[in-house]
Structure 1
């Protein structure tokens, strides 16, 4: 049955010319901290630019900080910024490296190569990029003390691990073997409690692995949520009540308790249009989800939907007044969300219009 909810008018709060900023809304190039600023992390040539979102929309176009990339030829992996902005951590093909704003290497944690060809040789050049698109990811904890990193491992018993590193020197504090790993890529997501960390590992057509973990002394205590059947981690509830996932191929959205229990579910929108792999919490009471961006057969094009954050009942389809949402949306948790106009090179910030 088709869903025909009312339209929800959107109000444009601001627009910023920012070329190449699509990753802010569709590729995780956006980092927020519990009680801290929302920061945009943009790769520009051989640099990582850091912008504070509120400053950006207030007219400050210059980046707050610029970090030189440790491996300019490596275009995959993820980066994360320390809470105080003093250093960035990069997930490379054969190492995790912390870099200061002056470009100095603070520390490096070496690991096995993400390249898919087993036993392939390396020239010794640290800038060498091996074949393959596989990559890991990393995230600095909200207290700035640790770096969580998904890494490749040269071990007969397992090929990947979730490592916790001391943010001061890169020393391994704890490690969780990931026995079923065959990653194409991954991403981390901090829980708002500042203690737990989420890890979502994509394995291409082989599915998704999903974990929550915390550091207890020198050990990682993890919740293996892979009986939830190929679910992509989208966002965490601002009030610590649960997390949001989408099924690998968009069949449904689900709200979960931290132990993985499904609290609410919304199947794909009418006429078998799947949910996209974009969305999250607009605020504590509202979820935004998208359709059409990843579906060539959707005659309606891209649409953004507002849903109740407890029941996932659809409240309405967002109606944009002038700058249409032609791509994915990035909810910010404060009642606003971002879209990006690729043709015009502009980042837009929205809220639902009152009344």
Structure 2
């Protein structure tokens, strides 16, 4: 099961498989993002200028300084994630928009010490990134470039970085067998696609109309993901043509055939709340903040 965590007034709360609170880590000042080890006893936090590793006792084990943002910084945030085996920490550093360098970097750190294993430039000018660890040790990275689009990369800890070559796809999730992944069009959000991990070829695409919605009034949301090995959840978001009231639906899709299987029939607090876990279950939030695994 994927590790579930959230920011609270007390720090970073981590949940066990039954969604009971397992521990709360203190959040270092300036924390903007974080990742939890698969064992739930370690944390890395990303601030504006550093990545900080906390141990089970909540104390700092190491700090990696990315450099202070310059006086002409834009909207840019570091992103950090553990490798699938928790031995490495991968960091996306948007140096260009942070006004601290001429190129963005993808950095791999030793999770025990914070020592850099590799540092590689990326041909992007990103605002932020999202990591997707693979069990074979590689990492997928989605970099958001704002109105300029979104880029997807794949790499091992050492060696070349593979650029899938798109500028208009947002990576949403990786399949449970890790042979494929799901993307949504960046700019217009007109379609969702399911790809082979190797090479990125699209197995099929589905547009807004395939879900019974009007493309003039609805979009495919940057949300959802793999419910299990055979099924994904695609979120369609729109506004009522008469009242302007927002609505959203969670549609099930057969990932091997492209068949739309129907509405999941679940009510959520917003269009981004539902988190598929890949094992046939998903997590949603009640209005009081209580997490539910369904």
Pairwise TM-score range, normalised by the shorter structure:
0.7 to 0.9
Alignment check: 8 A CA contact 1:158 1:179 kept? no
Aligned to 1:110: 65
Aligned to 2:174: 236
Size of the aligned set, in residue pairs, is 280
Alignment check: 8 A CA contact 1:67 1:100 kept? no
Q: In the alignment, does 2:194 pair up with 1:255? A: yes
Aligned to 2:262: 316
Runs of 4 or more off by more than 3 Å in structure 1? Answer: 113-116, 152-158, 295-300
Alignment check: 8 A CA contact 1:286 1:306 kept? yes
Mind listing any 5+ residue stretches in structure 1 that lack a counterpart?
A: 1-36, 119-131, 351-355
- Deviations along 1:189-229, one digit per CA (max 9) or x if unpaired, are 112x34121111112212111111112xxx2432201x333
TM-score by length of 2: 0.87
Aligned to 1:40: 4
Aligned to 1:25: none
Aligned to 2:214: 271
Q: In the alignment, does 2:14 pair up with 1:68? A: no
SS in 1 for 2:160: strand
Change (3 A) 1:41 1:133: farther
How far residue 300 of structure 1 moved from its aligned partner, in angstroms, is 7.4
The structure with the largest alpha-carbon Rg is 1
Change (3 A) 1:86 1:348: closer
Higher relative contact order (CA 8 A, sep 6+): 1
Distance of 2:247 and 2:201 partners within structure 1: 33
Which structure 2 residues correspond to residues 12-23 of structure 1 after superposition, within 5 A? none
Match of residue 55, structure 1, among 18, 25, 46: 18
- Deviations along 1:252-278, one digit per CA (max 9) or x if unpaired, are 111111221111111123310211010
RMSD: 2.3
How far residue 83 of structure 1 moved from its aligned partner, in angstroms, is 2.8
Aligned to 1:12: none
Aligned to 1:347: 291
Match of residue 180, structure 1, among 83, 105, 124: 124
Alignment check: 8 A CA contact 1:199 1:210 kept? yes
Alignment check: 8 A CA contact 1:332 1:338 kept? yes
How far residue 45 of structure 1 moved from its aligned partner, in angstroms, is 2.1
Match of residue 110, structure 2, among 143, 161, 166: 166
Q: In the alignment, does 2:156 pair up with 1:198? A: no
SS in 2 for 1:291: strand
Aligned to 1:302: 248
SS in 1 for 2:268: coil
TM-score by length of 1: 0.73
SS in 1 for 2:86: coil
- Deviations along 1:4-47, one digit per CA (max 9) or x if unpaired, are xxxxxxxxxxxxxxxxxxxxxxxxxxxxxxxxx43221111251
Distance of 2:246 and 2:148 partners within structure 1: 30
Distance of 2:111 and 2:12 partners within structure 1: 19
Alignment check: 8 A CA contact 1:327 1:340 kept? no
Mind listing any 5+ residue stretches in structure 2 that lack a counterpart?
A: none
Distance of 1:141 and 1:245 partners within structure 2: 21
Distance of 1:207 and 1:279 partners within structure 2: 20
SS in 2 for 1:302: strand
